[in-house]
Amino acid sequence: QNPDYHGFSAEPDADVLNMRVVFFAGVSLAIVLGSVFLHYLPDYGLQQWARREAELRLLERERQGLPPIDSNYYDPARLALPPPE
C-alpha cells in the first residue's frame, strides 16, 4: 500500500507525477483563464467610457478656446425660469 496515495495510480511514482501534473495544470489554467476573464469583463459603471468622454469634451473646449469648466452648466438665456414673486 502507498501511504501517500493521491488517487491517480496504484504505482507510487506515477501517482505523485500525475498528482503534480494535475495540480500544475489546474493552477495554471485557473490563473490564465481567471486573468483573461477579469480582463474582458465589461466596463462596470461605464467608468472607462466616462473618462474617455470627459477627455474628448475637454479637448473640444480647448480647441474652441473655452475654459475647461463653465460656471453655468446650462445656457441661462435658454432656461425658462418662473417669474419672480
Does residue 73 fall inside a structural domain? no
Q: For residue 84, which amino acid is it? A: P
Does residue 74 fall inside a structural domain? no
Does residue 85 fall inside a structural domain? no
Does residue 60 fall inside a structural domain? yes
Task: Taking residues 45-55, report their average pLDDT.
Answer: 94
Model confidence at 70: pLDDT above 90: no
In the chain, the largest separation of any two C-alpha atoms, in whole Å, equals 97
Does residue 83 fall inside a structural domain? no
Does residue 76 fall inside a structural domain? no
Residue 85 — pLDDT band, cuts 50, 70, 90? confident
**Domain extent for 36:** 1-66
- Indicate whether this model's pTM tops 0.75: no
Q: Note whether 8 and 19 are within 8 A (CB).
A: yes
Does residue 8 fall inside a structural domain? yes
Task: Give me the number of domains the chain comprises.
Answer: 1
What does each C-alpha distance from 31 to 1, 11, 17, 22 come to in angstroms? Answer: 35, 30, 21, 14
Rounded to whole angstroms, the Cα distance separating 19 from 13 reads: 10
Does residue 29 fall inside a structural domain? yes
Task: Taking residues 47-61, report their average pLDDT.
Answer: 95
38: number of Cβ within 10 Å: 8
